[in-house]
């Protein structure tokens, strides 16, 4: 017959079991985090403390609208991001949002809907343009409380484009104008660039070779008042954590 385990032996066994369970839990959390990154380009940032107080949300590729794009395109699906932003607003754990932007633009109404959601969050938000923030990506970049752009990143402002059949009538032009007013009005309300200046950039004929519009690179976007500062992930995260600390004290 085997000997009975003493108190010390039982204690060590229980401790090992707890440790293994903890490792299993951490492993499960890491797997969930990896799946979230792979599927949605989203992850929680926690400074290694085990609590995700900052939510990293990436806007990449083309912003997909009410119709699915082809399977070969990199897209940001607005039907995924909208409920996630609502969940972030409702969460007690998440205290801030870092918006990572590298997009060629996409569906106007859906991109504008995402920008309005970000702008209406009560929690601190910071955007970082790391590649491109073209077309409807511009309202998304300016929707955050503070904004950064890396030196090599670009922002493209151009008139609204429409595919498919259009009717050559004054009503069509009026409709296009109203859509553009929604976009330029939002950008003006959430940046330091007046609406008439945005419209001037949008209708510029000297900058683009085959189209109207203006391409702004890095410091140009800051000088125009669209983005607050030139900087990378280090400065963007530092600024967001500073905003979170101030909100905690308030």
Catalytic residues: 135, 158
**Closest listed residue to residue 182, CA positions, set 111, 101, 118, 90:** 111
3-state secondary structure of 121: coil
In order, the DSSP letters of 14-74 are HHHHHHHHHHHHHHHHHHHHHHHHHHHSEEEE-TTSS---EEEEEEEEEEE-SSPPPTTS-
Binning the chain into helix, strand and coil, the percentages to the nearest 5 are 45, 20, 35
Place of tokens 């945005």: 198
Helix ranges (H only) for 120-169 are: 137-142
Give the distance from CA 43 to its chain's centroid: 12
Kindly report the number of other CB atoms within 10 A of residue 40's CB atom.
15
Residues 6+ apart with CB under 8 A from 65: 78, 106, 107, 109, 110
């Amino acid at each position: 017959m085997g000997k009975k385990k003493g108190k010390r032996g039982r204690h060590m066994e229980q401790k090992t079991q707890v440790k293994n369970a903890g490792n299993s839990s951490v492993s499960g959390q890491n797997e969930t985090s990896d799946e979230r990154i792979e599927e949605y380009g989203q992850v929680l940032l926690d400074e290694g403390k085990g609590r995700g107080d900052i939510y990293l949300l990436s806007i990449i590729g083309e912003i997909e609208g009410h119709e699915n794009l082809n399977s070969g395109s990199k897209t940001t699906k607005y039907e995924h991001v909208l409920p996630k932003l609502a969940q972030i607003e409702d969460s007690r754990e998440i205290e801030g949002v870092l918006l990572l932007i590298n997009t060629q633009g996409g569906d106007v109404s859906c991109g504008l809907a995402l920008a309005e959601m970000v702008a209406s969050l009560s929690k601190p938000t910071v955007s970082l343009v790391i590649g491109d923030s073209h077309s409807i990506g511009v309202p998304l970049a300016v929707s955050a409380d503070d904004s950064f752009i890396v030196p090599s990143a670009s922002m493209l402002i151009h008139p609204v484009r429409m595919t498919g059949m259009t009717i050559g009538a004054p009503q069509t032009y009026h409709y296009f104008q109203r859509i553009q007013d929604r976009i330029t009005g939002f950008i003006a309300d959430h940046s330091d660039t007046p609406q008439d200046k945005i419209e001037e950039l949008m209708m510029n004929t000297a900058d683009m070779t085959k189209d109207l519009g203006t391409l702004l690179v890095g410091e140009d976007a800051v000088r125009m008042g669209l983005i607050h500062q030139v900087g990378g992930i280090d400065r963007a995260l530092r600024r967001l954590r500073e905003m979170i600390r101030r909100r905690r004290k308030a």
